[in-house]
Amino acid sequence: MRVLPFLLSVLSSTSAVAGPCLSAPAYPPTRADTAVETTFNTPIKDPYRWLEDASSPEVRDWVREQNRVCAKALSAAGGDLAGALGGPDGMGRCSLPESRGGELYFSRQKPGQEQAVLVTADRAGGAETVLLDPNAWPRERHAVLGEWYVSPDGAKLAYAVRWNNADLGELRVRDLASGREAAQDRVDWADWGDFAWSPDSQGFYYTRLPARGPAPGTALPGKADLAFHRLGQDAGLDAGVFPASGDPQVYESPQVSDDGRWLFLVRSRGFSGTELSVQELGPAGAHPVPLFHSASSTAQALEDQGRFFLLTDLDAPHGAVLAQAAAGASTAGWRPLVPERQDVFLDSARLVGHRLVLLSHRHAASQVEIWSLDGKLERRLDLPGQGSVEALSGRAGDGEGYLSYQSFTQPETLERFTPGQAALSTWRAAPAAPASVRQARVSQVWYPSKDGTPISMFVIQPRGQARDGQAPFVLQGYGGFATPVLPRYWPATAALLGAGFGVAWPNLRGGGEYGEAWHRAGMLEKKQNTFDDFLAAAHLLVDESYTASSKLAILGNSNGGLLVAAALTQAPQLFGAAVCASPLTDMLRYPLFGEGPAWLTEYGDPKVESQFRALAAYSPYHHVRAGTVYPPTLILCSENDDRVDPMHARKFAAALQAAQAGPGPILLHTRAHAGHGGTGLESGRADQMAEELGFIEAEIGCQWAPGGH
């Protein structure tokens, strides 16, 4: 990545163990109210509730001052790292291609570009033709290209525009021959990622949100329905296809089968339940019929030549594939096709060349298998090593498919495969990783958590690094929403390894590394298991002399930000620095903000006493204690984050600043024109990376220790 040469020089110029500490600055005045709310006979103090109102002039002024203080403090670390690193990376990236006829459609981001450009090329790898270049959009509008979808006939492009990189955006349709876009085909405020073209390319199905208005974002979940837009018709007249559920924990999405015959209507209840209906497209009077319904199991539906397939964890926590020959049968009508296996955990499935292509992981590394439609394992694809396959592309009638592969030491490459053979052929190669990464030592270790459960962890170390307790380390984690942490290439790893840092990624309960049972062991009333697993990982790194507490930094984003916030409030003495990005921290009021209502199945409902008590037992904001020595902490959030409301970061920062009894700074940076994923621009990603690593280097490098510098 283009940040590496400069960042390596910054880190190595002071060495990883001899940098300047950041002094605790004079923080902006922050009033603390006496608000107390009693729930289930439990008094809950909330002194910074006033910071929830982002529209308040007082809050806006406070955020502005916090940003000023943060910028000044970080500049003292040896210069404005973010500014020095500004600009896109030198590696570039490319998406997996989607095939339409003889053409391939994909996005490509070259060095020097802020956003990826949509292009097309023939299968033989001929010259690329640009279809849409968002880099030409006026920068002052802060528009970011979101998801995109080419019509079945290859004549039209539907794409999403995200203002300030917010999740919700605007759908547009472009005629690829003329480049024209009709105003009536513009759908304002459509849900991201939920879209399917009709087989005749004359319209599309999408998740329609209520009309834009003053209602808070939390009023939207449960009120979206599935609609159909016919090209050329005013979007305001679009017909409803499937009604809104009325349940804020339910997402609705459409999917059209590869042969264009069937419309799947999907209702997902959080990450723990699925309702599937199917409707035949074409016949007049056709209506949805049930296909699968479970309040406690997930399912993905596929169809090929009239046969239906389900990838599900119903009665199979590791995942299995079921099949049936007709739509509308009850769940009991499905028969096993690919059985559950003890050490294989299914992630997703596609149909390519009229075969099932199953993406799974084993020992927290990916594998791809080809199965016949009558349930016979034909082969496993020859992946380059122990890494992760992030995605598959291909269609039932295609003779070939594509996959992305990466590992801790291998940047993402795009590979072509044919179902009839195990060998891969490289479609788009990535530049070689820096020598510090290629020569790194990657190991997988196991350790017991607090309750004795064995937990696996990947440890990446510079070549020849001694186990003497002197090496600086960065510990990261996620542990939620059944999301597995697999070997992925993290661009900052090269900078960290080159400066003598080690990196560790534990496979925490709550994630999906070891099946649905592993997920359920770290959710709802069992969420504390996730934090215990993470703290046990930190103890292992210290006890086994990988590092020392004063040299151990923790970093996490989103649900990983909650993880970091919980860890530093439960064991502040264990860490030398913390970076907490886009975190949830007020777990007693989270359902009132952003997409919070949709996460009740994951975290729990504060209105249910047993779940309230579990949430109150760890809610980071409520466990900040005055007079405690907290490690230097950088808290990051985005002003336009409509997923995790930045109020969590504001309240947590205010509480930590007031409680801090040590010399380490507590800094808050609110990024402008940014959503949950940052600005969506390459320079924004580089700036955040520089900010995070610059802070870690300044604090870990100075040998900060609990109780003083």
Tens digit of pLDDT for each residue in 83-115?
Answer: 333 333 456 889 999 999 789 999 999 988 999
Instruction: Give residue-wise pLDDT tens across range 541-559.
Output: 999 999 999 999 999 999 9
pLDDT at 10: 34
Strand 577-581, strand 633-638: pairing: parallel
pLDDT at 125: 73
**Residues identified as active-site:** 558, 676
Query: Please, are residues 214 and 231 in contact by the beta-carbon 8 Å criterion?
Result: no
Instruction: Give residue-wise pLDDT tens across range 596-629.
Output: 998 999 999 999 999 999 999 999 999 999 999 9
pLDDT at 706: 41
Asked if the model's pLDDT at residue 708 lies above 50, the reply is no
Cβ neighbourhood burial of 613 (10 Å; 0-12, 13-18, 19+) = middle
Asked if the model's pLDDT at residue 140 lies above 80, the reply is no
Per-residue confidence at 79, pLDDT binned at 50, 70, 90?
very low
pTM for this one? Answer: 0.93
Asked if the model's pLDDT at residue 216 lies above 60, the reply is no
Mean of pLDDT values over 317-336: 82
pLDDT at 191: 65
Per-residue confidence at 221, pLDDT binned at 50, 70, 90?
low
313 dihedral zone (left: phi>0; alpha: psi -120 to 50; beta): alpha
- In the chain, pLDDT over 90 holds for what percent of residues? 75
Q: Which residue has the higher pLDDT, 430 or 197?
A: 197
pLDDT at 3: 34
Lowest average pLDDT, out of 46-60, 150-164, 673-687, 691-705, goes to 691-705
Residue 569, CA atoms < 13 Å, CB-side half-sphere: 27
What whole-number distance in Å separates Cα of residue 260 and Cα of residue 196?
A: 10
Strand arrangement, sheet containing 299-304: 299-304, 307-312, 320-324, 335-338
479, 483, 486, 491: CA torsion to nearest 10 = -80
pLDDT at 19: 42
pLDDT at 7: 38
3-state secondary structure of 615: helix
Per-residue confidence at 212, pLDDT binned at 50, 70, 90?
low
Q: In the CATH hierarchy, which fold is given to the domain comprising 4-13+40-87+434-700?
A: Rossmann fold (3.40.50)
Mean pLDDT of the chain, nearest integer: 90
Mean of pLDDT values over 53-76: 95
Instruction: Give residue-wise pLDDT tens across range 556-576.
Output: 999 999 999 999 999 999 999
